[in-house]
Amino acid sequence: MAVVAIGADKQGAEAPQLHRTDLPNGLTVLSEAVPGARSVAFGAWVRAATLHERPEEMGVSHLLEHMVFKGTRTRSAQEIALSLETLGGSLDAYTEREHTSYQARVLDEHLGEAASVIGELIFEPLLKPEDLALERKVILEEISMVEDTPDDIIFDVHNRAVWGDHPHGYAILGTRDTVKSLDIPHIRALQERAYHPGRLVVAASGRVEHDQLLEVLDRAGWLTRARGDMTPFALDPVEAAGPHAEHVKRKDIAQTHIVLGGQGIAHGDSRRYAFALIDMLLGGGMSSRLFQRVREELGLAYSVHTFSSAFADTGVHGVYLATAPESAQEALDAVREVLREVASEGLPEADMLAGKRQLRGQLVLSMEGVSSRMYRAATTALYGEPFRSVDEQMALVDAIDEDTVRDVARDFFDPDRHILVSLGPKAVR
């Protein structure tokens, strides 16, 4: 097996930052040593999640993610919970649209235990029927919690409005009906098809050497697992809906929650840094245009911000705000006014310079933690992106030009192209 060194740190160290090994059984392993760190962030990404589900199985990826924590070949649910917490570490998992991830943060001396625990979760879960009955109740409660939280449910409503019946529009948790119908054969089928080295990316960052990581994985049994089924998941072409408005009437809440947005930038899009710059200046903090206009100048909302998610083939983005029903239309009109100005005129030079300075600072600060570096390492394999040092990323920020910003603003931030969804006592338009 070959170890490939990718990228170089231009801020002092001559040794490559990122190492990658593609193993014979299909497992991809990446690591980045962080000088001065005493901890390790260790994670495994399964290339299977909500995007790969059938409508009648919506939520099965999330249900499997829950079920693996109920017990493995050698550990009970309680032993899994205690395994890293008693060492001062943490263990977590999440399901998103393209991947399901299992992650740990531990002292460097406990890397072996983290690899062992996550390995068992992925490869050796018990998946017992009696555990499913309990966990199904837990997820139904999680769905209820979302339904009781308007600023959560509005994003599910917006996703469905943008993507319709495409899996990009599915609820990650599933629906009450699908969760109730899912059984052990559904869960086992997904685990057997997707939870194997051929669909896995492992990344670690912190006080870790690549050869050491490979040895740890070998001792934990990762390197001897069979590749498994590599049949591609069938994915429908992505096509976002056109501009329209939808309202979900809720009389039991005091505010109207609004999302205005649509299709966004894909991970590999060369305009991604220009998009991030506009998104940040519009709604990325207290100094942003939307916050200053809607909250500070007009006092129409406590919360107003932009959001965005990038996927392999597309993206989604928009503006969220919550306000009193009687002022909702005025607040929405103010948001549209700010967006329309940027979409038609772009950004002035002074704002471009200030925004680049802010974006550069965010990039550097985000790389101060080992978990952020672990995510960056995994992304190179999950999306086929080149590994870029912080200096190289800052150079791309500096290279953002006015023409690209103007084009991106026109194509993605024009409110007349957006889908409007609202939730609350009173509709807006």
What CATH number did the domain enclosing 16 receive?
A: 3.30.830.10
Q: Which two tokens stand for residue 215?
A: 């040895």
Q: Which two tokens stand for residue 417?
A: 């192209």
Q: Which two tokens stand for residue 232?
A: 């591609």
Say yes or no: 343 and 196 in one domain. no
Q: Where are the alpha helices (DSSP H) in 164-230?
A: 176-181, 184-194, 210-219
Does 71 fall in a domain? yes
pLDDT of residue 17: 85
pLDDT of residue 12: 42
Say yes or no: 204 and 278 in one domain. no
- Name, in order, each residue with C-beta under 8 angstroms of 425's C-beta and a sequence gap of 6 or more: 249, 250, 251, 253, 256, 325
pLDDT of residue 2: 64
Does 326 fall in a domain? yes
Q: Which of 361, 196, 354 is nearest to 287 (CA)?
A: 354
What is the mean pLDDT of each successive set of 10 residues along the chain, which is 429 residues long?
Answer: 61 64 98 96 98 97 98 97 98 98 98 98 98 97 97 96 96 98 98 98 98 98 95 89 96 96 96 98 97 98 97 97 97 98 97 97 92 96 93 95 97 98 96
Say yes or no: 249 and 345 in one domain. yes
For residue 30, which phi and psi values (nearest 5 degrees)?
-130, 145
One-letter amino acid of 330: E
Say yes or no: 258 and 392 in one domain. yes
Does 224 fall in a domain? no
3-state secondary structure string across 283-338: HCCCCCHHHHHHHHHCCCCCEEEEEEEECCCCEEEEEEEEECHHHHHHHHHHHHHH
Say yes or no: 282 and 342 in one domain. yes
CA distance 160 to 429: 18
Does 226 fall in a domain? no
Say yes or no: 118 and 267 in one domain. no
Say yes or no: 22 and 72 in one domain. yes
Does 412 fall in a domain? yes
Does 236 fall in a domain? no
| H or E, element range at 358 | helix 349-366
CA distance 376 to 31: 10
Say yes or no: 109 and 150 in one domain. yes
Say yes or no: 187 and 112 in one domain. yes
* Domain hosting residue 399, numbered range: 245-424
Does 239 fall in a domain? no
Q: Which of 170, 388, 99 is nearest to 272 (CA)?
A: 388
Say yes or no: 257 and 185 in one domain. no
pLDDT of residue 1: 65
Say yes or no: 377 and 325 in one domain. yes
Are 108 and 40 in contact, with CB atoms under 8 Å apart? yes
Which residue in 53, 57, 65, 98 is the catalytic one? 65
Domain total of the chain: 2
56 C-beta neighbours (distance < 10 Å), count:
11
The single residue listed with the structure tokens 């072996």 is: 112
214 C-beta neighbours (distance < 10 Å), count:
21
Are 192 and 122 in contact, with CB atoms under 8 Å apart? no
- Name, in order, each residue with C-beta under 8 angstroms of 304's C-beta and a sequence gap of 6 or more: 283, 290, 291, 294, 295, 319, 320, 321, 331, 335
pLDDT of residue 16: 47
Known catalytic membership, residue 32: no
In the chain the first and final C-alpha atoms are separated, in Å, by 59
Measured torsion, CA atoms of residues 369, 371, 376, 382, in degrees rounded to the nearest 10: 180
Helix 390-398 with 349-366: angle, nearest 10 deg: 170
Residue 237 has what DSSP assignment? P
Does 230 fall in a domain? no
Say yes or no: 357 and 416 in one domain. yes
pLDDT of residue 14: 37
